[in-house]
Amino acid sequence: MNIKTLAAQLGISVSTVSKALNDSYEISAETKKKVLDLAALLNYTPNAYAGSLRNKKSSNIAVVLPEVADSFFSQAINGIESVAQEKGYHVIVYLTHEKQHKEQSILNDFRNGRVDGVLMSLSSETTSDEHICRLKDKGIPLVFFDRVPEKMMAASVVTDDFEAAYKATVQLIGKGCERIVFLSLSDKLAIINHRVEGFKKALSDAGRTYHEHMLVNCSLNEQQNYETLKAVLTRTERPDAVIASAEKTATDIYSICNQLGLNIPADLKVIAFASLPIAALLSPPLSTIVQPAFEIGKTAAALLFKALEKPGFKLKNEYVILPSVFIERKSSCP
């Protein structure tokens, strides 16, 4: 079923059919109707690849994410979709599973027209930026959100990571916590480093000195991560508070505390960067730094469409910072 078949059946030319299908002003209402009717009858759908090839436009945007089993990312996807939809674009979700090599091969695949633009949150493993540069070299618009690259000039949408971590730390210090540990995802991610900076600043403002053991890099390997966290909670100088940089880290901490018989918040206070809708339902309710995930997705997508719609428009290093909200619950209260 293609345009040629339609044309043949109607005894008219393919270009007339094409124009009719695209509602061109050149075609008479009568012809249009005939074409549309037959198309409907024959269950015709245009071949997307032929159109993309011809028009050098796919009407697809890619969303490249570490993982989808995370409230932040799944909400961000919805934000992105909400704007893509009204622009008539498809959203294609690609998962890196936190692997640099997957991220690279996905991005390589975008270099020749598969998608018109890319929204992306870096994998925690990513150190090289070659794949990103190569994509930019091809002139494909690219907007990062949340997990943005450190030094690169790239449009980015993030939250006030420094301030949020600072505030969380101040809170915990205020509750009398002596041994606060920051659970990082990776030392390669800019936003995490901003959070770590906020953490350090709060410590020094409180007249404390930062030590290396106060920062723990969580491996993203499921099993190993669990072991890492367990080791932290069984140190001889056991922490009395942690700040977790991801939903998964926080819930792992909960599991381990259950297992070790540690009481939250009595033995360990917990604050997490997390967008879990059910934070309040945990035992105990989890204090969270909530990022406006849906909004972040929306904003990043809006930025991307600016570039997509204005041919001349170049995404510079626009850097949008959206505020996060600290919600105090039982897990960080005395």
Partner DNA sequence: CTGAAAGCGCTAACAA
Partner DNA sequence: TTGTTAGCGCTTTCAG
Alpha helices for 42-89 (secondary structure H) = 48-55, 71-86
SS3 203: helix
Q: Which does 13 bind (CB under 5 to 8 A by kind): a second copy, DNA, none?
A: DNA
When binding is defined by CB under 8 A, the residue of 19, 34, 114, 136 that contacts a second copy is 114
d(CA 295, CA 181): 30
By the rule CB under 7 A, 284 interacts with DNA:
no
In the shown chain, the binding pattern of residues 197 to 236 toward a second copy, with x for contact by CB under 8 A and - for none, equals ----------------------------------------
DSSP string, 283-311: SSPPEEEE--HHHHHHHHHHHHHHHHH-S
By the rule CB under 7 A, 108 interacts with DNA:
no
In the complex, minimum distance from the CB of residue 46 to DNA, in angstroms, rounded to a whole number: 4
Stretch that binds a second copy, among 15-23, 77-85, 168-176, 319-327 (CB under 8 A): 77-85
Strands 155-159 and 319-322: parallel
Stretch that binds a second copy, among 16-24, 103-111, 148-156, 314-322 (CB under 8 A): 103-111
Report cis status (omega within 30 of 0) of the bond before 284.
yes
In the complex, minimum distance from the CB of residue 208 to DNA, in angstroms, rounded to a whole number: 58
Interacting positions 19-38 with DNA (CB under 7 A): 19, 21-22, 25-31
Interacting positions 233-252 with DNA (CB under 7 A): none
In the complex, minimum distance from the CB of residue 106 to DNA, in angstroms, rounded to a whole number: 18
Sheet holding 90-95, edge to edge: 90-95, 60-65, 117-120, 142-145, 155-159, 319-322
Taking alpha carbons only, the member of 251, 277, 230, 301 closest to residue 78 is 301
Q: Which does 43 bind (CB under 5 to 8 A by kind): DNA, a second copy, none?
A: a second copy
d(CA 38, CA 248): 53
First vs last C-alpha separation in the chain: 69
> Is 162 in contact with 192 (CB distance < 8 Å)?
no
DSSP string, 15-43: HHHHHHHTT-TTS-HHHHHHHHHHHHHTT
**Cβ nearer to a second copy, comparing 18 with 193:** 18
d(CA 48, CA 60): 11
By the rule CB under 8 A, 100 interacts with a second copy:
no
The structure tokens 């270099």 sit at 111
In the shown chain, the binding pattern of residues 236 to 275 toward a second copy, with x for contact by CB under 8 A and - for none, equals ---------------x--xx--x-----------------
By the rule CB under 8 A, 7 interacts with a second copy:
no
**Cβ nearer to DNA, comparing 26 with 109:** 26
Size of the site for DNA (CB under 7 A): 29
Instruction: Catalog residues that contact DNA under the rule CB under 7 A.
Output: 2-4, 11-16, 18-19, 21-22, 25-31, 46-47, 50-51, 53-56, 112
